[in-house]
Structure 1
Amino acid sequence: MTETFTNYLTDNAREASINHLNIALASSIQLQLAIKQAHWNIKGPGFIGIHQLLDEVYDRMSEHVDTIAERCVILGGTADGTLDGVKKNGKLDAYPRDAVHQDTHIDELKSRMVAFAGIVHESLKEVGELGDEETADLFTAVSRGVSKDAWFIGAHHTSATK
């Protein structure tokens, strides 16, 4: 571990939080890439609205990525956002290259966003139990934000009913 700025945490809590943060970092980068893949390739009657929404969601996801990485370094770890780190630590399924129709992209993004929110929700419980309330709060905010964006995206599904 490098220099830490959290001397009030035990080494065990710090190491566990760094591990959870690197998993969240890798998975959030996977999600970011999925959002851009959809943004570039989406087609359908709601194209422009969804295309613009995905830019906004991507920007919010970028903030989450940065916050997660910075917390990892604050705790004395190394934020591993490299391609190898994402491949090693990322927990999301690969995004389909052949997706085109907006409903396919919506389903694919929504499922990954919900899965990602679940990953960080589990992490918030575990790091909170170890006494790292600040990292737990970070995970709470990320989970809340990504869940809201999943709702925004999911509401564009063309087969939505009453």
Structure 2
Amino acid sequence: MIATPTKSDVRFYPTRLDLAADIREKVVTLLNQSLAATLDLKTQTKQAHWNVKGKDFYQLHELFDEMAGELEEYVDMVAERVTALGATALGTARVAADNSILPEYPLDAIDGDEHIMALADRYAAYAKHLREAIDATDDLGDADTADLYTEISRTIDKRLWFLEAHLVNRADIA
């Protein structure tokens, strides 16, 4: 069971932002869940970057590093949105580990295909989370946060496509 940050974990500060406090609390809870998943995906992508071996080593090493860099930007964007809503971003490694929606990375992955499969699975789960967050924040009337999620979602879908392109002749894509 994933531990979800609670309202008591997050400190809210006064703000002139015109979103109602109850809406901000719901959005911040979702954003902090996303922050945990984004941090986790970034570190899992770096795990692949550091450890990939095989005939496509150089290309995958570079690709995974670029992907991790993009995720680092999204970590910052999500955390800053939390603080813009007058709350505390919960972004430590321990919080991320406790609250991520992603499964643990297979630490025994070595060759490129193993890393590509592991990352594709995690990018797909993260993409699903982002689409759900777009709908949830839109339903709550926070178009700005929905737009942030939409921006991230476009890149994550593109990266999932890049990963799956390596698996085009494999039965592993469902």
Q: Give the alignment's TM-score, normalised by structure 2.
A: 0.87
CA distance in 2, matches of 1:52, 1:156: 15
Does residue 92 of the first structure (1) align with residue 102 of the second (2)?
A: yes
Aligned to 2:5: none
Q: In 2, distance between residues paired with 1:48 and 1:9?
A: 47
Q: How far apart in 2 are the matches of 1:9 and 1:27? A: 25
RMSD: 1.5
- TM superposition shift of 1:87: 2.4
Q: Is 1:21 the equivalent of 2:31?
A: yes
Pair 1:41 & 2:31 matched: no
**Are positions 1:139 and 2:141 aligned together?**
no
Unaligned runs of 5+ in 2: 1-11
* Counterpart mapping for 1:62-81 below 5 A: 62-81=72-91
* 1:116 partnered with 2:126: yes
> Higher RCO, 1 or 2 (CA under 8 Å, sep at least 6)?
1
Look up the match of 1:3.
14
Deviation at 1:160, TM superposition (A): 4.7
Work out whether residues 57 and 112 of structure 2, in 8 Å CA contact, stay in contact via their aligned partners in 1: yes
Alignment length (residue pairs)? 160
Task: Provide structure 1 residue ranges, at least 5 long, that are not aligned to the other structure.
Answer: none
Deviation, structure 1 residue 68:
0.4
Q: In 1, are the aligned partners of 2:39 and 2:93 still within 8 Å (CA)?
A: no
Task: Report sequence identity in percent.
Answer: 39
TM-score by length of 1: 0.93
2:38·2:75 contact (CA, 8 Å) conserved in 1?
A: yes
CA apart distance, 1:117: 1.0
The answer (yes or no) to whether the contact 1:46–1:156 under 8 Å persists in 2 is no
C-alpha distance after superposition, 1:34-81 (max 9, x if no partner): 100000111122111111111111111111111000000000111111
